[in-house]
Amino acid sequence: MLAIETLSWMEMQKLSERLALARAVKQLGISDPNAVRLAHRLVVETVRRRNFIDKFINNVLKQDAISEFNLGVQAFLRLYVYKTRIAKNWSKIDIEEAENIAKLARSILGWKTLQKVEHVLGLLLTQKPTSTLKGAGDEERIGLLTFHPTWFVRYCFKLLGRKEAIAMLEVDMQPSPTYIRLNTLKTDENQILEKIAEDWIKVERVEQLKYTYKVVGAKHPLTRTKSFREGLFYIQDKASCFAAEAANPELGMTLLDVCAAPGAKTTYLAQLMQNKGIIYSIDYSRRRMTVWKKEVARMGVKITVPIIADACNPLPLRIKADIVVLDPPCTSTGAFRKLPSAKWRLTRRSADKMADIQWQMINSCAENVESGGALIYSTCSITVEENEMLVERFLKWHPEFSLVEITPKIGLPGLRGLEKCRRLYPHIHQCNGFFIAKLLKE
């Protein structure tokens, strides 16, 4: 029931997996953490394969299409195909389990509602998955096999070449690795490693980054451990850690962290500054800033000032900062492993629309950079429209800025000749797809 409700919220209000799940949990009054975790996994894995599942269902429906049914029926059909076929690797068919799922759906949605699709439930158990690929062209076929929109496959082919693009698209089918950043504001690194080992968390150090570790095993969910509650670590992708280290802040500096919530960058920048200096953290979302405040408190950060403002407009600060860090909203095309729902909300024009917002933000931020200071621009997108093309345009409009080398030198050079920028790719660097540019104001 929780998974059906979550998928319905996602469809109705274009919410992310986590936001929709939180809303469904509150609506249904569910308090069992195991039920929430199970529902989250079901939702993420079903949404990840949405295009394949929908075409598979439409082949059985024939005259109708899944989109013609109400949101509850759509959600049930998708979950039914995932649970009875995909989770079984398309081989073993458990009739009893399928019947129990159908009974549960009748009790949730009502037998009259489900009656419209009862006749296809048996067919969905017997249809071969290969039927979904019949008549598909090359790009659509790759999209169905790797669970991506056809337009995005075409875009990646042009950007990276067919072979490299397929390697990246295939990695999106797998769960993403989990990284944590140890918080030396609480105690030293070795003591933290001892404490997280007591919580049965096994980690491997990430080379070239200061405090970042890959989680290779955990007995319990990380957020339910004592060391997490004590603020000894932050769950943070290594690409995000790299962006903070690229800023290279010094003790006593004045920083602006723009689009700061939920707090990953703020807390790491404060850690690198050893809580000496000041960070003005700006975000437009009151809800996200509430999370930011909790994270800042949990991590023991003392030098931050929260400001709720829209960075598309001139920032409500007259100060000049030594470093401005801007991580604007983006298409998240580099984070499809973590946010599979983003794939189905985007169109080919989404990157252009997002670049318009990013352009307003980077221009606002430029005004607050001190002479000799730096502007760090980063996104978790792989598109050139949001990254290299935007930086090229910025440099033309702001000749007082120039690109500088980024250290540590992780990832690959930027595209379009912007070799001082850095790019990370999921299939090469085992993290979110990411872009970073460091711009010095002369």
**Which of 189, 207, 235 marks a domain boundary?**
235
Percent of the chain with pLDDT over 90: 83
Q: Which residue has the tokens 């944590």?
A: 180
Residue appearing with tokens 């598309």: 312
259, 330, 380, 431: the catalytic one is 380
pLDDT of amino acid 64: 76
> Per-residue pLDDT for 417 more than 80?
yes
pLDDT digits (tens, 9 = 90+) for 342-373: 999 999 999 999 999 999 999 999 999 999 99
- What is the C-alpha separation between 326 and 428, in angstroms, rounded? 25
Q: Which DSSP string corresponds to 303-346? A: SEEEEE--TTS--S----EEEEEE------TT-TTT-THHHHH-
CATH number for position 193: 3.30.70.1170
Listed in sequence order, the residues at least 6 apart from 55 whose beta carbon sits closer than 8 Å to its beta carbon are 132, 144
Q: Residue 258 phi/psi, 5° resolution?
A: -100, 135
Residue 58 confidence (pLDDT)? 93
pLDDT confidence of residue 114: 81
Give the pLDDT mean for 390-395. 98
Query: Residue 75 and residue 96: Cα distance in Å, rounded?
Result: 21
Assess whether 165 and 220 both reside in one domain. no
pLDDT of residue 111: 79
* 328 and 409, same domain (yes or no): yes
- Nearest-angstrom CA–CA distance, 250 and 263: 19
User: In terms of domains, do 437 and 367 share one?
Assistant: yes
The pLDDT of residue 31: 86
Looking at the predicted structure, is the pLDDT value of residue 15 above 90?
no
Report, as an integer, the average pLDDT of 157-185: 96
Q: How many CA atoms lie within 13 A of 398 on its CB side?
A: 23
Which range of residues forms the domain containing residue 187?
Answer: 179-235
Please check whether residues 186 and 320 belong to one and the same domain: no
Q: What angle do CA 399, 401, 407 make, to 5 degrees?
A: 150
Compute the mean pLDDT over every residue in the chain, rounded to the nearest whole number.
Answer: 95
Give yes or no for a contact between 359 and 410, defined as CB atoms under 8 angstroms apart.
no
Q: pTM of the prediction?
A: 0.93
pLDDT for res 33: 87
- For the chain, give the percent of residues with pLDDT over 70: 100
Q: pLDDT band for 376, please (50, 70, 90 cuts).
A: very high
The CATH number of the domain where 380 resides is what? 3.40.50.150
Q: Is the pLDDT of residue 247 over 90?
A: yes
The pLDDT, as a whole number, for residue 101 is 86
Output the pLDDT for position 107. Answer: 84
252-261 tens-digit pLDDT? 999 999 999 9
The pLDDT of residue 110:
85
Residue 239 has pLDDT above 80, yes or no: yes
Quick check: 175 pLDDT over 90?
A: no
Distance CA 217, CA 74 (A): 36
95 and 227, same structural domain? no
Residues 318 and 375 in one domain: yes
Residue 201, classed as helix, strand or coil, is: strand
When divided into structural domains, the chain yields a total of: 4
- Confidence bin at 324 (pLDDT 50/70/90): very high
Average pLDDT over residues 263-269: 97
Q: How confident is the model at residue 285 (pLDDT cuts 50, 70, 90)?
A: very high
Answer for the pair 241, 212: CB distance below 8 angstroms, yes or no: yes
Predicted confidence at residue 109, as pLDDT, reads: 81
The backbone torsions φ and ψ at residue 349, rounded to the nearest 5 degrees and listed phi first, read -90, -5
Rounded (5°) CA angle 433-434-435: 145
Residue 378 has pLDDT above 80, yes or no: yes
Of 74, 108, 133, which one is at a domain's C-terminal end?
133
For the segment 259-285, the average pLDDT, to the nearest whole number, is: 97
Block residue for tokens 């595209």: 415
In sequence order, what are the residues at sequence separation of 6 or more whose Cβ sits closer than 8 angstroms to the Cβ of residue 278?
A: 254, 255, 303, 304, 305
Task: Check pLDDT > 90 for residue 14.
Answer: no
Supply the pLDDT for residue 115. 83
Q: Return the pLDDT at 388.
A: 98
Cα–Cα distance for residue pair 427/337, rounded to 1 Å? 11
- Residue 397: partners with Cβ closer than 8 Å, 6 or more residues away: 363
pLDDT top residue among 64 and 423: 423
Q: In this structure, is the dihedral angle defined by the CA atoms of residues 43, 49, 53 and 54, taken in order, positive or negative?
A: positive
Do 201 and 251 fall into the same domain? no
Residues 227 and 155 in one domain: no
Q: What is the DSSP letter of 206?
A: P
pLDDT bracket for residue 118 (50, 70, 90)? confident
Specify the pLDDT at position 28: 87
Shared-domain flag, residues 325 and 417: yes
What is the pLDDT confidence band of residue 47, given thresholds at 50, 70 and 90?
very high
Query: Rounded to a whole number, what is the distance in angstroms from the first to the last CA of the chain?
Result: 58
| Six token digits for residue 144 | 């169905």
- 241 is annotated as an active-site residue: no
Do 249 and 218 share a structural domain? no
Of the candidates 354, 369, 346, 375, which has an alpha carbon nearest to the alpha carbon of residue 438?
A: 375
pLDDT band at 308 (very low <50, low <70, confident <90, very high): very high
Q: In whole angstroms, what is the distance from residue 385 CA to residue 61 CA? A: 39
Give dist(CA 415, CA 342) in Å, integer.
Answer: 24
pLDDT tens digits along 50-76 = 999 999 999 999 877 898 889 999 999
pLDDT of residue 82: 95
Domain check: are 412 and 336 in the same one? yes
User: What pLDDT was estimated at residue 203?
Assistant: 98
Q: Are residues 257 and 369 in the same domain?
A: yes
